[in-house]
Amino acid sequence: MAIRVDQTAKTFTLDTIKSTYQMKVDAHGNLLHTYYGARAQGTDFSYLISPADHGFCGQPAGCGDDRTYSMDYLPLEYPAHGNGDYRIKALRAGAAGQAPALDLRYHSSDVTAGKYALPGLPAMFAGEGDQDVQTLRIVLKDLYEEIYVTLLYGVFEKKNIVTRTAVIENKGSRPVCIRRAMSMGLDFPENDKELIHFYGKHAGERQFERTALLHGITEVSSTRGMSGHQHNPFVVLCDKSATEENGDCWGISLLYSGGFRIQTETDQLDQLRIVCGIDDEELEWTLSGGESFATPEAALCFTDRGLADLSNTIGAAFRTNLIRSVWKDRRRPLLVNNWEATYFDFTKEKLLEIARQAAEIGLDMFVLDDGWFGKRDSDRSGLGDWYVNEEKLGCTLRELVDDIRDMGLSFGIWIEPEMVSEDSDLYRAHPDWALTIPGRDPVRGRSQLVLDLSRAEVIEYLKDAIDRLMHSADIAYIKWDMNRSVENIYSAAAPSLSQGAVKHRYVLGLYELLEHLTSRYPDVLLEGCSGGGGRFDAGMLYYAPQIWCSDNTDAVERLRIHYGTSFGYPMSSVAAHVSVCPNEQNGRRTPFQTRGVCAMQGSFGYELDLSALSEEELEEAKHQIACYKEHYELFQKGRYYRLSSPFTNRSFTAWSYVSEDGSEASVSIVFTDLYGNPKPLRVKLKGLKEDAVYRLDGKEYTGGALMYAGIVLPVPECDYDSYFALLKQCGALSK
Ligand code: GLA
């Protein structure tokens, strides 16, 4: 069984195929965290704890004389503020009007089959065949108040994932105020680890950084009301020596699309703690008697087999047990999007011209981006007025869509429901629906304001707008955008004492809208977007199987963005398009072939004026589209291997896909520098079958040779040249 409860030793042990996770209730009723690492069954890991008096470490209630017992250094499962632990905490709450303090002791527990659900929040789920999934609930209670904390664990034994959530409940009559409520905390006995995290900016998301953890606190976070371009709510802790192939790695992903906080602390005894949860900078959430608060879910994965195994385990589990869309299994349409082709400046004829060309080269869908609604000829007006601008289009939306469908293409459309322009009918009618602080000039981003999604009437307006749009034409795809950070969080509808809850309520409102869209229109392919990849997080994947990865479409900068994104997300969720040359964001010139090779790393499409392509480029595009379609399963579901890092290898970036049974693979290389008198470059493949014989470029190699000796790369012939090849198993070594 995945979950073992030992009533005598008072241990709770969660086993997956590669990991063991253990907690123990000690003699004082405190819930200790004793182990999370490689699978090691049959042990009470509390032997690792060595009690001692470390000085200036306070004793909690009931342990006054035992100076070797302190929450300040014990490994704790869910550390709360106010009982002598001075490290970073998971929970800061208490009776309203008092200094926050909790002393949580074990109350009860139970184990059930299947996975718990989290109404209103994204959560991983057990699929139809997942009989191995179990839930553990451990209830803790404050010593003094009727405040209960239920820790929930979902154990996906075969998928090697453990999920965590905490639910805080006020069963008393006095209000309780929550100021911090993390989804999880983990304590490790040693800081012998490094942190990998993914920083960035607009048009440069998820850059890889690996760093040692100093004494004190290290933090990656977002206070922007969205997960953000600048940091990502996915991190890895790993051995200092961990590589792609070897070493202990812990992946932590927060299933949340709002602001977040991930902190590590190396304490006075060189122990390491990590906590992860929602942004608590302004949090003040009041629970009246009988109310509860659920934190978003965190998904954890441990492997002792290196970073490639970690990424593939998380990617596979997210694909099957987090993404709900029918499009995770259906063949997604290959599309052309008109944004970089026309921006706001288009006519019906221009759109049809692009669509016609798209149909001719084998694409499946035309996506109409920003600029089709209200008064929207620039990004300074119109948001909120979700009715088609027939004057601009010269027809109704249905007429346009029908013309496009007649060409054999399906139709998709862009919306940005969370926003409002001051120059819009919506704002003129409901200025108080925008988040602004009374009496202050609001902070504007991209000249727009953020709608107050904590308000029911705003949610109803947007549900209605979505329904009207969906019924106005045959729409098969929605690109859901969000183009500014949230700021000035004041809800005109909330009582003054509840303003500290608005930021999280905004995200709950967003999830309600996404749930409405995805449950009412389950066949619609939803693509997440936020100025490119500003909201690329596991929470969004629960609703959208793919996310526009970056507004930067330059193939070479995308190498770094895709590399970073691949650590924590399935590559099928990475929307990537071939765009124009020179590139619109940085002016770089890259060959058409290279742009295709790079975009085929993710969910593939085009974003340029197809009608302006040369004959040669159109031929190449046809070839790319046919190739992606032929090897669709490999690209979408194959195991993904980073063969080199764009952050350390100056000469090239290489990656590959390997089919589940290892009989097929692709290898892609983009050369990032040129040399006179070039030396031969080699790359070692990964994830193949050692004893299988593969055919590559007309020659035969064993899997062992390809992985341990590698292949010799062709010499690049121009700037940013690329190489793409397919490998097929054609035999096996005789034993
Ligand atoms: C954002 C998106 C782009 C495009 C524009 C439209 O920046 O990331 O792809 O849709 O908005 O305004």
> Ligand 1 pocket check: which of 342, 369, 484 to mutate, most ligand atoms within 8 Å of Cβ?
369
Peptide bond into 646 cis (omega under 30): no
Considering the segment(s) 652-732 as one domain, its CATH architecture is Sandwich (2.60)
**How does DSSP classify residue 103?**
-
Is residue 297 flagged as an active site residue? no
Can you give the residue ranges of every domain in the chain? Answer: 3-321, 326-637, 652-732
Which protein residue's CA is at the shortest distance from atom 1 of ligand 1? 531
Apex 279 CA angle, 562 and 115, nearest 5: 75
CA of 551 to the centre of ligand 1 (A): 7
What's the pLDDT band for 291 if we cut at 50, 70, 90? Answer: very high
Residue 401: its pLDDT value, please? Answer: 98
Confidence of residue 31 (pLDDT cuts 50, 70, 90): very high
The reported pLDDT for the residue numbered 204 is 98
CA-414 nearest atom, ligand 1: 10
Question: Is 548 close to ligand 1, i.e. is its CB under 6 Å away?
Answer: yes
Asked if residue 339 has its Cβ within 6 Å of ligand 1, the reply is: yes
Residue 589 CA, ligand 1 centroid: distance in Å: 22
- Please report how the helices 615-630 and 348-361 are oriented relative to each other, as an axis angle in degrees rounded to 10: 60
Catalytic residue (choose from 617, 620, 664, 721):
617
Is 633 an active-site residue? no
Question: Which is it for strands 699-702 and 692-696: parallel, antiparallel or unpaired?
Answer: antiparallel
Predicted confidence (pLDDT) at residue 516 exceeds the cutoff of 90: yes
Tokens for 83, please give them.
Answer: 């009982």
pLDDT at residue number 497: 82
Question: How far is it, in rounded angstroms, from Cα 408 to Cα 366?
Answer: 10
Long-range contacts of 524-527, Cβ-Cβ distance < 8 Å, separation of 24 or more:
524/470, 524/475, 524/476, 524/477, 524/478, 525/325, 525/327, 525/332, 525/333, 525/412, 525/476, 525/477, 525/478, 526/325, 526/477, 526/478, 526/480, 527/412, 527/477, 527/478, 527/479, 527/480, 527/575
- Please state the atom number of ligand 1 nearest to the C-alpha of residue 529: 8
One-letter identity of residue 72: D
- For residue 217, the model assigns a pLDDT of 98
Question: Per CATH, which fold does 3-321 belong to?
Answer: Beta-galactosidase; Chain A, domain 5 (2.70.98)
Two domains, one topology: 3-321 and 652-732: no
Distance 655 CA to ligand 1 centre (A): 28
Percent of the chain with pLDDT over 70: 100
d(CA 22, CA 33): 6
Residue to substitute in 529, 540, 549, 553 for testing ligand 1 pocket (most ligand atoms within 8 angstroms of CB): 529
pLDDT of residue 268: 97
pLDDT tens digits, 528-584:
999 999 999 999 999 999 999 999 999 999 999 999 999 999 999 999 999 999 999
Pocket test for ligand 1, best of 483, 550, 554, 606 (most atoms within 8 A of CB): 483
Is residue 451 within 8 Å of 458, Cβ to Cβ?
yes
Query: Residue 131's pLDDT is what?
Result: 96
Q: What is the 620 CA–ligand 1 centroid distance (Å)?
A: 26
Asked whether 309 lines ligand 1 (CB < 6 A), one says no
Rounded to whole angstroms, the Cα distance separating 555 from 567 reads 19
Q: Does pLDDT of 181 surpass 80? A: yes
Task: Evaluate if residue 735 carries a pLDDT over 90.
Answer: no
pLDDT, mean of residues 489-504: 94
Res. 630 pLDDT band, cuts 50 70 90? very high
Q: Give the pLDDT confidence score for residue 65 in this predicted structure.
A: 87
The pLDDT confidence band at residue 64, using thresholds 50, 70 and 90, is: confident
CATH 3.40.50.2300 fits 326-637, yes or no: no
For 247-256, the pLDDT digits (tens) are 999 999 999 9
Q: What percent of the chain has pLDDT over 90?
A: 99
Mean pLDDT of 98-121: 97
- For residue 1, what pLDDT band results from cuts at 50, 70 and 90? confident
Confidence of residue 6 (pLDDT cuts 50, 70, 90): very high
Residue-wise pLDDT for 425-466, tens only, equals 999 999 999 999 999 999 999 999 999 999 999 999 999 999
CA of 372 to the centre of ligand 1 (A): 13
For 200-229, write each residue's pLDDT tens digit: 999 999 999 999 999 999 999 999 999 999
Q: What is the mean pLDDT of the chain?
A: 97
pLDDT band at 405 (very low <50, low <70, confident <90, very high): very high
Q: Is the pLDDT of residue 596 over 90?
A: yes
- Mean pLDDT over 102-107 rounds to 98
Say how many Å lie between the CA of residue 56 and the centre of ligand 1: 54
- Model pTM? 0.98
Query: How far apart are alpha carbons 580 and 582 in whole angstroms?
Result: 6
If you average pLDDT over residues 494-516, what whole number do you get?
96
What's the mean pLDDT in 17-45? 97
For residue 369 and ligand 1, the question of a CB distance below 6 A is answered with yes
